[in-house]
């Protein structure tokens, strides 16, 4: 059973508000990721981290930012939410090394900006 | 850069029939390949993975996939569909297992009673 948690599960918020989506894992994984999933199902990598104080932007340009101060925690922040940010956000983690390379996913946060 | 193409955004099968979901990949180095399943309002769950060992990989829930380098394919199969198999299925690739997963656009599987 994967131990990666996202909160909140659902969020409806007004335009211009600052929001933080939380993601925590208890597996001690070095690598963590944020994916954005559009209504057509496709997943796009928006941020990833290979360890504490290491963050990189993904393939899809995003106005969000991330931080990695602790191994287990990888929050995503939107300084000023807009309707175009409405989407599902999925957090994932994976172990370092070549043996256990699969990513474990949280249940996602469905964000609606009105 | 690696990429994944899933043929067919929607596949419909009868209960008890063969399930075949297609995935072709592009990678300049030996790929690690994965199939994930997503149920409504849930995250993704790993079905199976190929990491350069056996080319025929067995996963959970009776699914299996075969890595064919000559065809750059990693198709997912199940001999007999069950109603509970109805979900979204995603194929993903990683270079050597070292890079973040790149996903295909997904295939929605419907199972008809």
Given A35, A41, A45, which is nearest B105 (Cβ)?
Answer: A41
Does residue A1 have a pLDDT over 60?
no
Classify residue A64 as left (phi > 0), alpha (psi -120 to 50) or beta. Answer: beta
Q: What is the pLDDT of residue A2?
A: 58
At A64-83, the pLDDT tens digits run: 999 999 999 999 999 999 99
B40–A contact, CB cutoff 8 A: no
Closest CA to B31 of B63, B76, B73, B75: B73
Q: Distance, in angstroms, between B79 CA and closest chain A CA? A: 25
Helix (H, G, I), strand (E, B), or coil: what is residue B104?
coil
Place of tokens 């997943």: A43
B98–A contact, CB cutoff 8 A: yes
- Please report residues of A whose CB lies closer than 8 A to that of B31: none
Mean pLDDT to the nearest integer, B19-35: 92
Q: Which helix (H) or strand (E) holds B82?
A: none
Mean pLDDT to the nearest integer, B47-53: 89
- Please report residues of A whose CB lies closer than 8 A to that of B42: 107-108
- Please report residues of B whose CB lies closer than 8 A to that of A99: 51
B43–A contact, CB cutoff 8 A: yes
At A7-27, the pLDDT tens digits run: 999 999 999 999 999 999 999
B78–A contact, CB cutoff 8 A: no
At B60-90, the pLDDT tens digits run: 999 999 999 999 999 999 999 999 999 999 9
Contact B43 A33 (CB under 8 A): no
Mean pLDDT to the nearest integer, B44-68: 93
Question: How many whole angstroms separate alpha carbon A67 and alpha carbon B77?
Answer: 39
Mean pLDDT of chain B: 93
B103–A contact, CB cutoff 8 A: yes
Residue of A nearest to B34 (CA): A102
Q: What is the pLDDT of residue A42?
A: 86
């Amino acid at each position: 059973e994967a131990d990666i948690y996202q909160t909140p599960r659902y969020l409806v918020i007004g335009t211009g508000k600052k929001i933080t989506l939380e993601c925590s894992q208890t597996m001690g994984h070095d690598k963590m990721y944020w994916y954005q999933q559009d209504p057509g199902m496709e997943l796009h990598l928006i941020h990833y981290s290979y360890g504490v104080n290491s963050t990189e932007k993904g393939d899809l340009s995003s106005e969000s930012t991330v931080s990695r101060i602790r191994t287990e925690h990888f929050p995503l922040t939107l300084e000023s939410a807009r309707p175009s940010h409405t989407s599902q956000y999925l957090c994932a983690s994976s172990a370092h090394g070549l043996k256990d390379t699969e990513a474990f996913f949280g249940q996602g946060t469905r964000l609606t900006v009105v | 850069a690696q990429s994944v193409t899933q043929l067919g955004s929607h596949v419909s099968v009868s209960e008890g029939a063969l399930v075949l979901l297609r995935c072709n990949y592009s990678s300049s180095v030996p790929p690690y390949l994965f199939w994930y399943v997503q149920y409504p309002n849930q995250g993704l769950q790993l079905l199976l993975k190929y990491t350069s060992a056996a080319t025929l990989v067995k996963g959970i829930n009776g699914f299996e996939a075969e890595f064919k380098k000559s065809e750059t394919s990693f198709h997912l199969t199940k001999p007999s569909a069950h109603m509970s198999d109805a979900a979204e299925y995603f194929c993903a690739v990683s270079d050597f297992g070292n890079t973040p997963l790149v996903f295909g656009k997904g295939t929605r599987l419907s199972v008809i009673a």
